Structure 1
Amino acid sequence: MADSMISQPLAGWGKPDLDLSGADWQSSSRGAGDVQIAFVEGFIAMRNSEHPESPSLIFAPDEWRKFVVNARGGAFDLT
């Protein structure tokens, strides 16, 4: 796989093109899940830990708060 594909952020909508090559990726300590997050230059990057070469989503802090509140409230549950 080409180095240029590793940790490419999925930016846009006014978000910066962050360099995630040295990001400190953190996994959930609650068990199941493939999601990792990293705090980079005031933004939150999220990626799939099983496919770290895939693009990462980039959240501004206010977007991240809304995402977490909705996730905790079950907005993304499959039922």
Structure 2
Amino acid sequence: MHQAKNGTPASSLREVEWHKSDLSNPSGNCVELARLPDGGVAVRNSRHPHGPALIYTPAEISAFVQGAKRGDFDYLTD
């Protein structure tokens, strides 16, 4: 697989397994994540599985997950 870049069509990331949270909305309104071969993470909108994927480095996704666990983004759901 070539190096994925932001905006790569998610459907072209064929060697990945997409996952979504068990807390996802039953109508499919959620984001899905997939680990890339280089250790990065791709993110896509589950309603548009063939649309563009955002690509994050391991350091970027780690910082985001740690911040989410700490509650840094809780204000977004208030």
Q: TM-score range by the shorter chain?
A: 0.5 to 0.7
Gaps of 5+ in 2: none
- RMSD, aligned α-carbons: 2.3
Gaps of 5+ in 1: 1-7, 12-18
What is the TM-score with the length of structure 1 in the denominator? 0.65
Q: Which runs of 4+ in 1 moved over 3 A?
A: none
Higher helix content, 1 or 2: 2
Whole-angstrom CA distance in 2 between matches of 1:49 and 1:9: 19
Matched residue pairs, number? 65
Work out whether residues 9 and 20 of structure 1, in 8 Å CA contact, stay in contact via their aligned partners in 2.
Answer: no
| % identical equivalent positions | 32
The offset of 1:78, in angstroms, is: 4.5
Higher strand content, 1 or 2: 1
What is the TM-score with the length of structure 2 in the denominator? 0.65
